Amino acid sequence: MASKKYDLAITGGRVIDPELGFGRIADVFIKDGRVARISSEGKSAKLLQNFDKDQIIDATGKLVVPGLIDIHVHLREPGREDEETVFSGCRAAAAGGFTSVCCMPNTNPVIDNQETVKFVQDRAGDADARVYVVGAITKRSEGTELSEIGDLVKVGAVAISDDGRYLQNPQIMRRALEYAGMFDIPVMQHAEDSFLVAGAVMNESYQSARLGMAGAPPVAEEIAVQRDIALCRVTGSRLHIQHVTTRAAVDAIRKAKAEGVRVTCEVTPHHLVLTDEEIGKEFNTSLRCNPPLRSREDQEGVLEGLVDGTIDCIASDHAPHSMEEKDCEFDLAPPGMIGLETTLGLIKTHVIDKGYLSWADVIRKMTVNPAKILNLPGGRLQEGVAADITIIDPDKKWTVREKDIRSLSKNTPFIGWKLTGRAHMTLLGGKEVFRR
Amino acid sequence: MSRLSSRHLLGLENVPREDLELILDTSVTFREVIERRIKKVPTLRGITVLNLFYEPSTRTRISFELAEKRLSADTVNFSTSTSSVKKGESLRDTVQNIEAMKIDMTVVRHSSSGAPYFLTQCMDTNIINAGDGCHEHPTQALLDMFTIRQKYGKIDGLRVVLIGDVKHSRVIRSNIWGLKTMGASVAVCGPATLMPYEVERFGCDVYTDLDKALDGADVVNVMRIQAERQQSGLFPSRREFSALFGINRDRLKRLNKNYTIMHPGPINRGVEITSEVADGKSSVILDQVTNGQAVRMAVLYLLSGRTEGETE
């Protein structure tokens, strides 16, 4: 006799809700795609007797957390469906434990109008994750003329960004902030002064000096961040700095936050785990990304910011590129690496296990914090919320293998890496979208 | 000891001293060969060498080609103007197609740093770097070292100053690594805008004042300054560059008595060096060119794995 009161029960796992700080062993009951009840260990033994075997997910020894949220991914559709589609990107997201992703507008055509937003939303209709669209700040992301931001918001764009490019003109950036402020959406900025990084293929450091490669100086990020903080201060709008990579930028954001400036920021796993010292070893084009992998010193500054809360969230900057385009000379390769399927393992292995953050901190930075930045509905695991739930096997040891990657692109430098911690199962609105 | 520790020559950073000495010692033999009336030995008979030039080059290409011919190797030349690169063929496809025609060794010049390493991942041939981006140009540095050793009988303890566009010079980088390994004291000198970031970490002295750099030096190796660097705003004018960093007779007074003037060419006469100095009695610029062939013959021979007397 199956339970009629509930559809599904996740039993015996350690349930973490970062908002309530709930972190005990508990059973989670799901009904009609929502979390209907969370009861402490043992208290629902009787109730569970009515459940069919296939209605129970045994999560003993696992973490049961709100579905993870990645606010920085590139889904490449429309335009480069050979590299990724909304559907394939969401399959990768589900395997990585993500139930919500925010896609950047640098597609072809650029997502700078209602039609393209709707197209992406339509493609996401039956996908394995929720897709929130970030619209372009400027038309074709060319940095000269504002997009019809009101229009974009009207059909559901959650933020604006010209990601991949820095909005160099301060007048237009000021207007973008003012204008976005009307809709209470943040302006997401790829903060690197474009004059200072012109032609660069890696971080400017002793490593770029050795290798004779043009370097993007860390000061390009510092200047861009400082300028935008100043504009954020005068406009009172919300600014989100994407993928911070330098100590100086983190320091500037920390100071601004203390002052009450409405700035938030994210960091990628690859900037936390890799440094520019890797590049000269094999000239692996998967290591080419923007902003570039930095020095150890900058990496330590970023880790400090992650620990003290200056850095609000972790985002993958999942950037698929075809094998054909990456199999070339280092400086000719397009920048970016995929990340949806390795983020959790990298963070567990290199951030949690090295003592920088606890699981609770990490879950906060991968659920409720990003949700708050973009006013997204998810990120909580409480009675009544949509049952977007990730079950994590925190001690699972695994090796990153190319054949296991669900993304259509395989451009990651982490192939062969041994990691600990991985999504075991992912539920979207109470429906299983991934099970290992 | 007659084998190099690697089957490729990609750069001089981290190349052990024994390898450098083996190349320089072997070069002496080949230097002799090119003075003969019949400048040819059968050493590499039956071996096919691909000269892959993705960047314009005159002297390095000719030098390698002559070196190969004098070793009796078969050579095949590829340069971008006649290649399928313009048709959009990738580097991997290009070299794998040529390799399918049975190539044994590849000499590569490319504008991307790391391209020779990339080739080691695409092909089974030995790879010799003939200049990659601003990264390394190992045979140029080897011929510079050979020329220094020819004159002084040693490299150990000499003071060598490398002058010019340090940031973009692969010749300077390879010279720094090689000279340091061989025990020389190395200094670089050039405008601050043409210094790479954290240049001090190369382990050489760094000067922006030419007179100080020249003080007590034995060897001055002057690099070509490219006009495009001025166009991109790295220094204000050739006139000012020449005034601050140009080598002329006056400046030579600060050098040690038995000094040597070098230049990898091509020379901008009157810009980085005056004709009087470039053609003067202390200049070994043309010796460098001659020695280049001997050094390249030695590198080709040593990497080929052929042993003495063996020609198949």
Rounded Cα–Cα distance for residues B137 and B114 (Å): 11
Same domain, A172 and A292: yes
From chain A, pick out residues whose CB is under 8 angstroms from the CB of B54. none
Residue B45's alpha-carbon distances to A69, A238, B70, in angstroms, are: 64, 71, 10
pLDDT tens digits, residue range A194-251? Answer: 999 999 999 999 999 999 999 999 999 999 999 999 999 999 999 999 999 999 999 9
Same domain, A215 and A314: yes
Model pLDDT, residue A23: 85
- Smallest Cβ distance to A283: which of B92, B118, B168? B118
3-state secondary structure of B220: strand
Domain count, chain A: 2
- Residue entry with tokens 């960091």: A267
3-state secondary structure of A267: strand
Same domain, A185 and A290: yes
Range(s) of the domain holding residue A366: 68-373
Which ipTM value was assigned to this complex? 0.93
Q: Looking at the complex, does the CB of residue B92 fall below 8 Å from at least one CB of chain A?
A: yes
pLDDT beyond 50 at A32: yes
From chain A, pick out residues whose CB is under 8 angstroms from the CB of B234. none
Residues of A involved in catalysis: 317
Same domain, A124 and A168: yes
- Candidates 3.40.50.740, 3.40.50.1370, 1.10.760.10, 3.40.50.300; CATH matching B138-289: 3.40.50.1370
The amino acid present at B202, given as its one-letter code, is: F
Rounded Cα–Cα distance for residues A96 and A342 (Å): 7
CA dihedral over A382, A385, A387, A388, signed as positive or negative: negative
In this prediction, residue B309 has a pLDDT band, given cuts at 50, 70 and 90, of: low
Q: In this complex, do B196 and A209 lie within 8 Å of one another by their Cβ atoms?
A: yes
- Determine the topology of domain B17-137+291-304 in CATH: Rossmann fold (3.40.50)
Q: In this complex, do A211 and B201 lie within 8 Å of one another by their Cβ atoms?
A: no
From chain B, pick out residues whose CB is under 8 angstroms from the CB of A212. 113, 132-136, 168, 170, 173, 196
- Smallest Cβ distance to A329: which of B115, B168, B173? B115
Model-level pTM?
0.94
Model pLDDT, residue B312: 45
How far A330 CA sits from the closest chain B CA (Å)?
7
Q: Looking at the complex, does the CB of residue A330 fall below 8 Å from at least one CB of chain B?
A: yes
Give me the mean pLDDT over the A117-132 stretch. Answer: 97
From chain A, pick out residues whose CB is under 8 angstroms from the CB of B112. 329-332
The answer to whether position A57 is within a domain reads yes
Q: In this complex, do A328 and B118 lie within 8 Å of one another by their Cβ atoms?
A: yes
Same domain, A41 and A145: no
Average pLDDT, chain B: 94
Instruction: Report residue A107 as tokens.
Output: 């597609």
Cβ neighbours of residue A191 closer than 8 Å, sequence gap 6 or more: A166, A221, A224, A225, A228, A241, A242, A244, A249
Length of chain A (residues): 436
Q: Looking at the complex, does the CB of residue B201 fall below 8 Å from at least one CB of chain A?
A: yes
Same domain, A331 and A186: yes
Give me the mean pLDDT over the A144-157 stretch. Answer: 98
pLDDT beyond 80 at B86: no
Torsion of CA A175, A177, A178, A179, to 10 degrees: 80
For residue A420, the domain's CATH number is 2.30.40.10
pLDDT tens digits, residue range A249-280? Answer: 999 999 999 999 999 999 999 999 999 999 99
Q: Nearest Cα to A274, choosing from A257, A255, A289?
A: A289
Cβ neighbours of residue B113 closer than 8 Å, sequence gap 6 or more: A211, A212, A213, A283, A330, A331, B132, B133, B134, B135
